[in-house]
Amino acid sequence: MAGSVTSDSSAERVGYITRIQSFSACHRLHSIHLSDEENKKVYGKCNNPHGHGHNYKVEVTVRGKIDRVTGMVMNLTDLKRCIEDVIMTPLDHKNLDKDVPYFASVVSTTENVAVYIWDNMAKALLPNLLYEIKIHETDKNIVVYRGE
């Protein structure tokens, strides 16, 4: 019929769902692989010994089949719980470099914060569900990591 919309009811549909979480933390950009002088040169004001803080905003996106029965890729309530465990408990109101053992030897750039969150979120979710971690470090600085 002209103008009608047909759909293959047997086709699998894939959806992307995102939950946004904010957290606050302080850090200092300082690489143990560089001298103090090199650190100052590379990181500038962000190498200030007393650190500085950010209100980070993290977007966690999962990708998967939209289950025919539940209508969900995954239950957002479960995603919320994973985010609490992986992001809020270890990172919120923390000094990333001093409170999070991972960053004792890994410089706490937003790229590396994204990798940290990806690795731990991937362990907390079902296999192959995690699609993307996007972090807004400031309104102007945004990092995307997709596990590559």
Ligand X SMILES: Nc1nc2c(c(=O)[nH]1)N=C([C@H](O)[C@H](O)COP(=O)(O)OP(=O)(O)OP(=O)(O)O)CN2
Residues 44-103, interacting with ligand X (CB under 6 A): 46
Residue 132 sits in the site that holds ligand X (CB under 6 A):
no
Confirm whether residue 136 is marked as ligand binding. no
- The number of C-alpha atoms within 13 Å of 85 and in the hemisphere containing its C-beta is 14
93 is catalytic: yes
26 is catalytic: no
Site string for ligand X, 102-131 (x = CB under 6 A): -------xxx--------------------
DSSP state, residue 32: T
Tokens 């590379």 found at: 42
* CB of 29 vs ligand X, minimal distance in Å: 5
CA distance 60 to 131: 8
Site string for ligand X, 3-42 (x = CB under 6 A): --------------------------x-------------
CA distance 17 to 115: 19
- Give the closest residue to 105 by CA, choosing from 19, 13, 30, 55: 30
Whose Cβ is closer to ligand X: residue 55's or residue 138's? 138
Whose Cβ is closer to ligand X: residue 47's or residue 82's? 47
| Helices of type H across the chain | 36-43, 76-83, 89-91, 96-99, 110-124
Q: Which residues bind ligand X (CB under 6 A)?
A: 29, 46, 109-111, 137-138, 140-141
* Annotated binding-site residue numbers for Zn(2+): 27, 52, 54
